[in-house]
Chains A and B, each alone.
Chain A
């Protein structure tokens, strides 16, 4: 089944404790992206990747890191999480670069930073 998977689905952590949220897609997509969803703000892009070893900042990259060492995986790293990073995070992927291509979303990771 074609899908985007994220782990963990739920995470509660404390300020400053490094964490990684994994994202994996099995559709051989080149383009992957991370969004965060906050009430009243919709979804905002954090980082995106156009292909292996090619990443760039989105609208709200502060406090986050990403890497793209393999085509299928695009982990989101919070080196020192803070409470303002409490949010619902979505990974997305699409086959090619370009606004006409449909992006497929993972199920989301709900992160709480205490």
Chain B
């Protein structure tokens, strides 16, 4: 069965430090992978997505993610974190059962705190 694992429930980084949020997936076919961010009291905003091609994907707000098929991973990175990046981050895989649905399977999220 398809699944997404985000091993880190909560991460705290200092402002200006680099960030890496981990995501591992289990999916039989070529995965469609997404990172969403949820700010407090807000909906989910798409940061970036991977479908095919270059395994290093650039997103909004200075984020990037690298797809590594051999490790079944799609980790999110940012070289220098800003206080406004404090939010919850969700990794998701798009499950396409022969076109019957484009359900997203989400990880449990990683809550990022940024300290001054």
Interchain CB contact under 8 A, A103 and B43: no
A18-B42 Cα distance, complex, nearest whole Å: 26
Partner of A48, one of B4, B101, B108: B101
Within 8 A of B (CB), among A91-114: 92, 94, 97-108
CA distance in complex: A77, B44 (Å): 22
14 extra A-B contacts, CB within 8 A, seeds A104-B46, A108-B43: A35-B104, A40-B108, A42-B107, A42-B109, A43-B90, A48-B101, A48-B103, A90-B43, A97-B99, A98-B99, A99-B32, A103-B46, A106-B43, A108-B41
Number of interface residues of A (CB under 8 A): 30
Interface of B toward A, CB cutoff 8 Å: 4, 32, 34, 36, 41-46, 49, 51, 90, 92, 94-96, 99-104, 106-109
CB proximity of B37 to chain A, nearest CB, Å: 11
List of B residues within 8 angstroms of A100 by Cβ: 32, 51, 94
Interface string of A21-62 (1 = CB under 8 A from B): 000000000010101000011111100101000001011000
Chain B interface mostly helix, strand, loop or mixed?
Answer: strand
In the complex, the answer to whether B108 meets A101 with C-beta atoms within 8 Å is no
Check if B44 sits within 8 Å of A45, measured CB to CB: no
B103 touches A33 (CB 8 A): yes
Chain A hits for B49, CB < 8 A: 102
Residues of A within 8 A of B (CB): 4, 31, 33, 35, 40-45, 48, 50, 56, 58-59, 90, 92, 94, 97-108
Minimum C-beta distance from B49 to chain A (A): 7
Are A99 and B108 closer than 8 Å at their CB atoms?
no
Q: How far is the CA of A107 from the CA of B38 in the complex (A)?
A: 10
Would you give 6 A-B contacts (Cβ < 8 Å), ordered by A? A41-B108, A50-B101, A58-B101, A90-B44, A100-B32, A108-B41
- Once the chains bind, are A102 and B43 in contact (CB under 8 Å)? no
**A40-B108, A41-B108, A42-B107 in contact; A97/B102 too (CB < 8 A)?**
yes
